[in-house]
Amino acid sequence: MVDSAYRAIPPTAKSAKEHLVADPKHDEKRDEKQDDSFRVVDRRLFTSEGELRPEAAEEQRREKAKPPQPAAKTEKAATPAAPAAEEPKPAPKADKNFQLLIDLLARNAAALMGGIPDPATGQAYLDLEGAHEMIDMLDMLRDKTRGNLAPEEESLLSEVVGSLKLSYLEVSKAAAKAMREGAKGAR
């Protein structure tokens, strides 16, 4: 048998309650814990009859008797903390993982623009929509991390995005020109 606290109950005990009561070791521990344990305090304002509890009434009287703290003190307390928050943050360190992420996205964009031949076929693969999405991801990454990057990361990301946008423009113009020439030749 197992009680609700997942303790094994000896087969001689008829119930979990009988087991706990019959065990003097648990009773001693329970008495010790009662002194050290937390205390439950009823903080409801009203009794079950709907009347205001005496403790609640006394607490309300104490709060009314307290003079309200002036707002000037709280403003002065907040003022010294503000200059500490305005101190310039130290420049973040360059993270190799961030550089690897940029490299991964840039290589994928270049591969989708036909810059890297497909290893299986050896031919260049052109997916302008996919390349555009990769460039947009890098551009979004630059916007979202602005001010949180190390200077070398910021410059790397700006150079990569600028270079990829220029390459995309050139490749898309060449692809459009090839499509027009192909359409003329088919007539």
pTM here is 0.50
- Binned at pLDDT 50, 70 and 90, residue 53 comes out as confident
Residue 163: its pLDDT value, please? 95
- Binned at pLDDT 50, 70 and 90, residue 86 comes out as low
Inform me whether the pLDDT recorded for 157 exceeds 90.
yes
Residue 116: its pLDDT value, please? 85
Residue type, 115: G
User: Per mean pLDDT, which range of 39-43, 95-99, 163-167, 177-181 is the poorest?
Assistant: 39-43
Residue 158: its pLDDT value, please? 95
Residue type, 20: L
**What mean pLDDT comes out for the span 169-178?**
92
- Binned at pLDDT 50, 70 and 90, residue 40 comes out as confident
HSE (CB half, 13 Å, CA atoms) of 129?
A: 0
HSE (CB half, 13 Å, CA atoms) of 149?
A: 19
Parse the chain into domains and list their residue ranges. 1-34, 96-186
**What mean pLDDT comes out for the span 115-135?**
90
Decide if 80 contacts 134 (C-beta within 8 A): no
Residue given tokens 């050896």 in the structure block:
122
- Binned at pLDDT 50, 70 and 90, residue 49 comes out as confident
Residue 33: its pLDDT value, please? 55
Decide if 125 contacts 112 (C-beta within 8 A): yes
124-126 and 113-117 as β-strands: parallel, antiparallel, unpaired?
antiparallel
Q: Which long-range contacts (CB under 8 A, 24 or more apart) does 130-133 make?
A: 131/164, 131/168, 131/171, 132/168
Distance CA 141, CA 112 (A): 19
Between residues 105 and 75, which one has the greater pLDDT? 105
Decide if 53 contacts 47 (C-beta within 8 A): yes
Report the percentage of the chain scoring pLDDT > 90: 35
Distances (CA, A) of 153 to 43, 108, 158, 163, 167: 56, 19, 9, 15, 21
Residue 108: its pLDDT value, please? 93
Mean pLDDT of the chain: 77
Inform me whether the pLDDT recorded for 72 exceeds 60.
no
